[in-house]
Chains A and B, each alone.
Chain A
Amino acid sequence: MKRRALLTGEPAPRPSASLGPDYYTNAVLRTHEGREVRFYDDLMKDKIVAINFIYTWCENTCPLSTANMARVQKALGARVGRDVHMYSFTLKPWQDDVAALKEYAKPYGAGPGWEFLTGDNYDLETIRFRLFRWDHPALDFNLEQHVGMVRIINDRLDRWSMCPTLATTRQVVDAISWVEPTKPLAVRKRENVATQARIDAETRHLHAIVARN
């Protein structure tokens, strides 16, 4: 940290801690709108992302998960596509082409900032293992095991979090907030002073009550 930043409490810009395309891969994928994207460069780089896996023929967890993610999208409002990006990847790209994903996304009202993605199975399996691997083949190769979790990543800080897709909307939004950048030191100091003042006031009030009795 530079001396001025130290004295003023302003944070110096941090270098990115991202794992980069070597880890995430730069696989070419297609969105449900038919747009060609690169996984790291276009979807991950410097972003906060919430990623889950679904497939369109799934009748159990996927529709409930996707419905819940739709509620998360609504709760985040205008932040989706600006502060937070939501991605739902297919587990079965050999079944789910662009048209199938578009059809699937429609009833859930997926707006800008929430993409459904398909691509080559080799790439999607690589990405799935990079994000959701349990190091347990019986779980890792059971596709049903991967529809129930949402992985949340702040790429710039390399801060990861995870949450069940069927958790309450509040819990998923909280899990997203855990990866958000820490507030600047000056803001935290102001908040700490205010909080301490509130605690002191409450303590004085309690002491006064005790003294009266």
Chain B
Amino acid sequence: MKSLMFGALAAASLAAGATAFAADDCDFDISGTWESAPAGADPTVPARYRFGADGLVTTLSRFDVGDRVEWREAAGAVTFFYRLDDPKSPSIIEFLGPDGSTRRGSMEISRYDEGSFTTLDANSDPTRWVRIEAERYFVAFVAQSGEIRTGGPAFAMLIRTDADGRSLFDAFGLYFAQDALIVGTIPAELRRKFMNESRLESDTMLRLELTSAEFERASKVLRTWDRRAREHKMLYEVPYLNNIVFLEQMAQSLNKCGDRIRVKKLGWNVGDEITARYNLPQIPFYYIRSLREMNEPLHLRDADLQKRMGSACAGNCRAPARVSELGRHDLPSRRP
């Protein structure tokens, strides 16, 4: 990797702009730990680098501690500096020596999103860098079709699994309690019933692993609606409308800064295949089913979710991949 960084100066074309996501809170942030497997290098021995907000890059080394793997700075580790031509929307990364001024090399950044970026070097194939997350993040959209006139429960659940494998759940949406229709925090008992995928046609579910940024945006939407429910400041008097808008906002927050997750926008007009065809109580079910169809390759089956939630990554979780970047080992298992 060192040779990749310092050996060859990128003959990068500045004219080729990086594929980027939109502005505002979608600005790129290189701070954090990234893993890269340069072309030609042994893919089983990736390299990790910590990019500091202060411009310092630290090489991390792998240490096997019992049955755990730790990445940390080794004694005498190589440190150097980096500089981005535009930190919020970079197209060139430049590496400087330990003195912070001697130019050692540069690479073109051809693509970036919240979980990865790709660099081009004059002498080698593209190198993909993947963000290393401290925790794992998941979202689940769940709905039952229920009765035609009343619909069934429909909600979104956020799951955060920390470095030690402990999971925290947050679920919000519509459910029934003694014939009353409630839009609010989903009771734990009901949430647990939907932890496993149903084979019934009347149930639908989409589960995705998220980057920390995607998770944070979705959490913000959930927290806002939770506050509305607690303060009795819901936007609509019709509970179904509140829930549909909440679910759509959750989904749209996921791909606000990229297209890793595909999202449908409800049209609310005669041409819309969901809102024009189904009554309000049924819309969440068909909306989530369409999200599932659009994101089938990213959907986590029970075994995949349990494996990922159960495996404490101890701060070594790779950010989830794009569909186009899924390797064979990333692909979800087939439905039994």
Give the distance to chain A from B230, nearest Cβ to Cβ, in Å.
12
Are A129 and B227 interface neighbours, CB within 8 A? no
Q: How far is A71 from B232 in the complex, measured between Cα atoms in Å?
A: 38
Are B268 and A133 interface neighbours, CB within 8 A? no
**Residues from chain A with Cβ under 8 Å of B235 in the complex:** 125-126, 129, 133, 140
Q: Residue A137 contacts which of B227, B233, B237, B241 (CB distance < 8 angstroms)?
A: B241
> Which partner residue on chain B sits nearest A127 by CB separation?
B233
**A4 touches B (CB below 8 Å):** no
Are A129 and B236 interface neighbours, CB within 8 A? yes
Q: Residue A135 contacts which of B224, B227, B236 (CB distance < 8 angstroms)?
A: B236
Given A122-B224, A122-B227: A138 in contact with B269 (beta carbons within 8 A): yes
**B37 touches A (CB below 8 Å):** no
Q: Mark A119-151, 1 if CB is under 8 A from B, else 0.
A: 000100110010001011110110000000000
Q: How far is A126 from B248 in the complex, measured between Cα atoms in Å?
A: 18
Q: How far is A126 from B232 in the complex, measured between Cα atoms in Å?
A: 10
Q: How far is A129 from B11 in the complex, measured between Cα atoms in Å?
A: 55
Are A138 and B267 interface neighbours, CB within 8 A? yes
Give the distance to chain A from B217, nearest Cβ to Cβ, in Å.
15
**B266 touches A (CB below 8 Å):** yes
**B53 touches A (CB below 8 Å):** no
Interface size on B, residues (CB 8 A): 17
B190-245: which residues lie under 8 A (CB-CB) from chain A? 224, 227-228, 232-233, 235-238, 241, 244-245
**Residues from chain B with Cβ under 8 Å of A177 in the complex:** none
Give the distance to chain B from A44, nearest Cβ to Cβ, in Å.
16
Are A25 and B233 interface neighbours, CB within 8 A? yes
> Which partner residue on chain B sits nearest A126 by CB separation?
B233
Are A133 and B236 interface neighbours, CB within 8 A? yes
> Which partner residue on chain A sits nearest B269 by CB separation?
A138
Are A136 and B227 interface neighbours, CB within 8 A? no
Q: Mark B265-281, 1 if CB is under 8 A from A, else 0.
A: 01111000000000000
Give the distance to chain B from A104, nearest Cβ to Cβ, in Å.
22
Give the distance to chain B from A181, nearest Cβ to Cβ, in Å.
28
Q: How far is A125 from B236 in the complex, measured between Cα atoms in Å?
A: 11
Give the distance to chain B from A125, nearest Cβ to Cβ, in Å.
7
**Residues from chain A with Cβ under 8 Å of B269 in the complex:** 138
Q: How far is A212 from B34 in the complex, measured between Cα atoms in Å?
A: 105
Are B244 and A137 interface neighbours, CB within 8 A? yes
**Residues from chain B with Cβ under 8 Å of A125 in the complex:** 235
Give the distance to chain B from A190, nearest Cβ to Cβ, in Å.
43
**Residues from chain A with Cβ under 8 Å of B236 in the complex:** 129, 133, 135
Are B267 and A135 interface neighbours, CB within 8 A? no
Give the distance to chain B from A139, nearest Cβ to Cβ, in Å.
8
Q: How far is A25 from B269 in the complex, measured between Cα atoms in Å?
A: 32
Q: How far is A133 from B242 in the complex, measured between Cα atoms in Å?
A: 12
Q: Residue B245 contacts which of A22, A122, A126, A137 (CB distance < 8 angstroms)?
A: A137
Q: Could you list 26 A-B pairs, sorted by A, with CB under 8 Å?
A: A22-B232, A25-B233, A122-B224, A125-B235, A126-B233, A126-B235, A129-B235, A129-B236, A133-B235, A133-B236, A135-B236, A135-B237, A135-B238, A135-B241, A136-B268, A137-B241, A137-B244, A137-B245, A137-B248, A137-B266, A138-B266, A138-B267, A138-B268, A138-B269, A140-B235, A141-B245
Other than A122-B227, A135-B241, give 8 A-B pairs with Cβ distance below 8 A. A125-B235, A129-B235, A135-B237, A135-B238, A137-B241, A137-B245, A138-B267, A138-B269
